[in-house]
Chains A and B, each alone.
Chain A
Amino acid sequence: MRNLYNQNLFAPGHTACTGCGEALGARLVLNAAGPKTIATCATGCLEVFSSRYPQSSWEIPWIHSLFENAAAVASGVAAALKAMGKEDINIIAQGGDGGTADIGLQALSGMLERGDNVLYICYDNEAYMNTGVQRSGLTPLDAHTTTSPAGKQSWGNRTNKKDMPAIAAAHHIPYVATASVGYPQDLQRKVKKALSIRGPKYIHLYVPCPLGWGSDPALTIKIAKLVVETGLFPLYEMENGKITNVKRLAKRKPVVEYLKLQKRFAHLFKSEEGKREIERIQALADELAERFGVDARKKAASPSS
């Protein structure tokens, strides 16, 4: 990892916000993938802050087309490379949470189902940040966004995150993993492993957004670790439908430690009723920890595939 600066495949000078988890994620993913990679990208923050003409932060061949078709464009790249006999090139499709789990879900499903040789990376910052922090299907319970605002009659977002890795896994693809920019070595190992496997792969990457979450930019990594340490975002790998690796924790931290660092959850800390909502979120973390066998002292329950 020494002196990566000059070998970075994602160049500085990009216009991501201060402390952006997605910019960090993109650099880690690209550096792990290496220069023999073609990447597609959905519309969103990542595309906007990296490709304003005439400048580009990308050091690999890269194409942005539309919001919902990063996976389908990558399928086209894969088909062309196959037809040309150039199958030794990595193909990565990238989208945000909205571009992956909402508007791009259909194209992603098609790509996964066809068995195309593409690694899809979902950069999940839990809302439509590029358009100004609107709620997506991956926004967590009770988070305040501009379209799920907290108010006298509302605790914010009313639903849990869509289980996107499970949706990907339901296509019976060879590799699904979750990762967080709080654990860069783990992320890069997973990217390399995914790229060593032929066929469709899916990595769900958690990337904090200081602007959208109302968090201190300096705490991006801390938050990206806390989400794992609380059990709210278990890190795991699933190979051929079976969970093969889970990051286990000696002692899970309470979700309050994670929530209190983000203004999007600040309304939960203002009343007794809010505390009950925090309890609901704690229960969710407990349930996820149980399902994936996160707690080291407990024997893992048989994880659902």
Chain B
Amino acid sequence: MELNVFAIPGTSRENKTGSWRVFWPKYLHDKCIGCNNCVIFCPEGCVSGSGKGKEATYQADPDYCKGCGICAEECPVNDIEMVREEV
């Protein structure tokens, strides 16, 4: 087996922690004020986007989002809804 004394940076991206999720943050893109709280507070660092209101593009990455609900909790205008995921 290939075995090094080091690991390659950023390779945890291969580990799709999205499979842990029970609830999914549904970004409504309605009242969004573009405050970026969802981006800043995500423990996975897996939320990205920009814009406001209906032009907002914020999304969590389904590959990594563990469904903690912090983004929904910290959204000041309740524009993110936690929904149980269809299996």
Contacts and interface: CB of A to CB of B under 8 A. Distances in A.
Interface of A: 1-6, 8, 10-16, 18-21, 23-24, 27-28, 50-51, 53-60, 184, 210, 216-222
Contacts of A23: 43-44
A50 B12 contact: yes
A12 B46 contact: yes
B43 to A, nearest CB: 4
Contact of A27 (B20, B45, B63, B69): B45
A220 B43 contact: yes
B68 interface: yes
A24 B48 contact: no
A129 to B, nearest CB: 14
Given A3-B50, A217-B68, A218-B72, A57 B43 contact: no
A13 B16 contact: yes
Contact of B70 (A14, A27, A218): A218
Nearest to A3: B48
Contacts of A218: 68-70, 72-73, 82
A56 B82 CA distance: 29
Contacts of A16: 43
Given A11-B11, A13-B13, 16 more contacts: A2-B39, A8-B45, A12-B12, A13-B11, A13-B64, A18-B68, A51-B7, A53-B7, A55-B7, A57-B12, A60-B9, A217-B68, A217-B69, A217-B70, A218-B69, A220-B41
A221 B72 CA distance: 11
A5 B48 contact: yes
B8 A54 contact: yes
11 contacts: A1-B39, A2-B50, A10-B45, A11-B12, A12-B17, A54-B7, A56-B8, A216-B69, A218-B82, A221-B70, A222-B73
* Chain B CB within 10 Å, residue with most, of A2, A50, A57: A57
A285 to B, nearest CB: 24
A16 B64 CA distance: 11
B85 interface: no
A58 B68 contact: no
Contact of A221 (B4, B12, B16, B73): B73
A12 B61 contact: yes
B18 to A, nearest CB: 9
A59 B40 CA distance: 18
A67 B72 CA distance: 36
Given A12-B12, A51-B7, A18 B67 contact: yes
Contacts of B81: none
Contacts of B15: 13-15, 55
A53 B11 CA distance: 9
Contact of B41 (A14, A184, A216): A184
Contacts of B36: 1-2
Contacts of A19: 43, 66, 68-70
Given A18-B67, A220-B70, A54 B11 contact: yes
Contact of B17 (A5, A15, A58, A59): A15
A263 to B, nearest CB: 17
A56 B7 CA distance: 6
B13 A11 contact: yes
Interface string B1-31: 0001001111111111100100000000000
Contacts of A60: 9
B50 A4 contact: no
Contacts of A221: 41, 70, 73-74
A287 to B, nearest CB: 30
